[in-house]
Structure 1
């Protein structure tokens, strides 16, 4: 007996009948055909109904469960990231000076033997370490200055050369409390040195540890506790080394890493709870620095260009990131949104990086600019509040490419190293005072 159905449904049963025949269910198809008095719609492509069912009309229970778990996991990670950012009790001081007019004074300059690639200042402000293109590593002590314009000056007569590398050194980092220096570079070695210094003189240096990695070392950063060392390499996986045992740790979920290229820079916040990594894949990743869980990913921050530098401020409010396209972005960490974009239309930039100054109202950017067969350097000081250029220091820094710079730890100044083997120390002041 034929079933009474709406005419529109007959078309549906034609499709059902055709799908049964496609699946080889001839008996079921014959039953539907007999009861509904319909013929199969042989104008449809094979498995037409199943394709609609599979793509649009249905999600298997396991897919729904997996999507639900991912949503819950994402919410938990966001909540954890927000909680870690709120842990920092420090707030910007109200009396942090805002310059009416900014000027500079080059109070020191000394040369190394080979082109320089990286620089760092010790936490007690007593040492400067400079890594070179030939694998040389020079450490210069600082002594107190009698000049009110700056607190310290280098004692270049006591510069010590340290051994351990055969190829270019790309990163140096000091221990947060002791005069222990980590260095790494193109030879894939991380060498940890112990330096004894007092009253502006280096008494002895010793190699404490040597760690062999399988990839070129690009970035080193001590954890604030001093027992661990974060390492970014030409590989996409971030490493965490135990300084004492040399044991290596990484994220338990290896799929949660940068998606290609290497890690160009990394930074950890003052409490040691958050790690930031800048990748050649154009992304910035936020990590739980204690268990190496990925908390947040900012993909395509610079429109896909490799991110060359990343740094957070001491108050866990702002993140500074630069890329190979010459642009520098200031990001609000709590909102994960861009506040400022600088130097985005500069042509010919082949590398740029940026650093917060000691007064976090300001940051500096350094760009290596290619102009035909020549290359030069552009160095600018910006205001965090409005993104205005406060000072152009390109002339005093010089035309040779500036490969690295570090802000002075306890005064408004900066230390730069460049291709012409020179290390310059600049102090900033307000001439209106």
Structure 2
């Protein structure tokens, strides 16, 4: 049988454009044509659909498994949208093409870039390093290199207009003796946990007015880098400069660790996070690996070695569906991983992260991914589905170390080396 001649990139793009027009997506077809420079007569055609159907029938007759094909095309789609098409002049939307496991054509159109407006900021006496929201979105807290914490009323921040002042600050807490690394609200919203370089985890009772110091603390032998409450509030994850993750029983303060050396990290833990239900938790490490664990048994269910090209992995987040995990690392990328296969699904590029442990996050509806940038004072906003860089959030005067979203709306806090935590909302919220 004569071997089929290879199809050129322009031929493929021309077929995609004509298929879009046949489906009634003329505006999207024009965007693809403008962004890629593909030559097309813009005539409606179902030829691509027919070719896909033939390919599907051929694969079914061969008994082929298209799982690898799907993963590769998803990655290709994310790379194309975030690198090539996003750079096209005049293109208002990014379009990526991918195929699912049934070889059906899917069109991913990047969302309209959100317009974040600063409503308020609070200032510490040192760089602001971390922040957290309570589960109901009523309160927020910030932690600083100066060892202090601030608790803020979110509704009061919304009523501000960017003026300096401490009216939304309802508590300033002093009990650490070294820089604060991470914060986590108890699910009841009345207890705030903090961890610091002073090798401790502190618990503050926010229901009592005038409280400035913790009512309970956990002392470790190493600096504590990250903490996360279980959704039930019964357990607290802690990651330290040790390779083993700690799980504390909040009531008894008993500490559990996984002693299986083949499941442990080989370097300091940089971040720990429970999933939405607590069924899973995830950890990232300076050794470059990311691990996903069973939230009940504490056993490692997925290890991703070299998640960021051998560089340190600075953070980890599990999506609400518990199928994907987001990581950031010192190779200036964020990556979305399929937990079941351990494969990269989408890559996010555009920001610079070569030396600092920047902390990204999903927005409350997981439409966007936000992270700081070492090369500027901006926070970068990416489309979660396509990987396209949509906008840069300005207003800070130094590097943004941490971006934290409200769990209930489009409000976010950015924590910057300019000593400030800034509260933003989208313009039409």
Q: Structure 1 length as normaliser, TM-score? A: 0.68
Shift of 1:110: 2.1
Shift of 1:157: 5.5
Provide Cα deviations, 1:24-83, integer angstroms capped at 9, x if missing partner. xxxxxxxxxxxxxxxxxxxxxxxxxxxxxxxxxxxxxxxxxxxxxxxxxxxxxxxxxxxx
Give 1:335's aligned residue. 341
Give 1:237's aligned residue. 244
Shift of 1:141: 2.4
CA contact (8 A) 2:116 2:424 kept: yes
Q: Give the structure with the larger strand fraction.
A: 1
Shift of 1:338: 0.8
CA contact (8 A) 2:360 2:402 kept: no
User: For 1:237, what is the secondary structure of its paired residue?
Assistant: coil
User: For 1:143, what is the secondary structure of its paired residue?
Assistant: helix
Is residue 311 of structure 2 the alignment partner of residue 305 of structure 1?
A: yes
| Structure 1 CA distance for aligned equivalents of residues 427 and 411 of structure 2 | 9
Shift of 1:392: 1.2
Give 1:404's aligned residue. 402
Pick from 182, 191, 194 the counterpart of residue 202 of structure 2.
191
For residues 123-142 of structure 1, the aligned pairs below 5 Å read: 123-142=135-154
| Structure 2 CA distance for aligned equivalents of residues 172 and 352 of structure 1 | 15
Is residue 380 of structure 2 the alignment partner of residue 380 of structure 1?
A: yes
Is residue 238 of structure 2 the alignment partner of residue 227 of structure 1?
A: no
For residues 280-429 of structure 1, the aligned pairs below 5 Å read: 280-343=286-349, 346=352, 350-369=356-375, 376-393=376-393, 395-396=394-395, 398-429=396-427
| Structure 2 CA distance for aligned equivalents of residues 346 and 243 of structure 1 | 38
Gaps of 5+ in 1: 1-96, 370-375
Assess, with a 3 A threshold, how the Cα gap between structure 1 residues 385 and 401 changes in structure 2: closer, same or farther. Answer: same
Shift of 1:425: 0.9
Give 2:189's aligned residue. 178
CA contact (8 A) 1:342 1:387 kept: yes
Assess, with a 3 A threshold, how the Cα gap between structure 1 residues 342 and 145 changes in structure 2: closer, same or farther. Answer: closer
Give 1:250's aligned residue. 257
Pick from 215, 222, 225 the counterpart of residue 218 of structure 1.
225
Shift of 1:125: 2.1
User: For 2:215, what is the secondary structure of its paired residue?
Assistant: strand
Shift of 1:359: 2.1
Shift of 1:249: 0.2
Provide Cα deviations, 1:217-243, integer angstroms capped at 9, x if missing partner. 100000111011000001111000111
| Structure 2 CA distance for aligned equivalents of residues 116 and 179 of structure 1 | 23
Assess, with a 3 A threshold, how the Cα gap between structure 1 residues 190 and 105 changes in structure 2: closer, same or farther. Answer: same
Assess, with a 3 A threshold, how the Cα gap between structure 1 residues 421 and 346 changes in structure 2: closer, same or farther. Answer: closer
Pick from 93, 110, 114 the counterpart of residue 126 of structure 2.
114
Give 1:269's aligned residue. 275
User: For 1:420, what is the secondary structure of its paired residue?
Assistant: coil
Q: Structure 2 length as normaliser, TM-score? A: 0.69
| Structure 1 CA distance for aligned equivalents of residues 120 and 352 of structure 2 | 30
Is residue 166 of structure 2 the alignment partner of residue 159 of structure 1?
A: no
Shift of 1:100: 3.2
Assess, with a 3 A threshold, how the Cα gap between structure 1 residues 271 and 359 changes in structure 2: closer, same or farther. Answer: closer
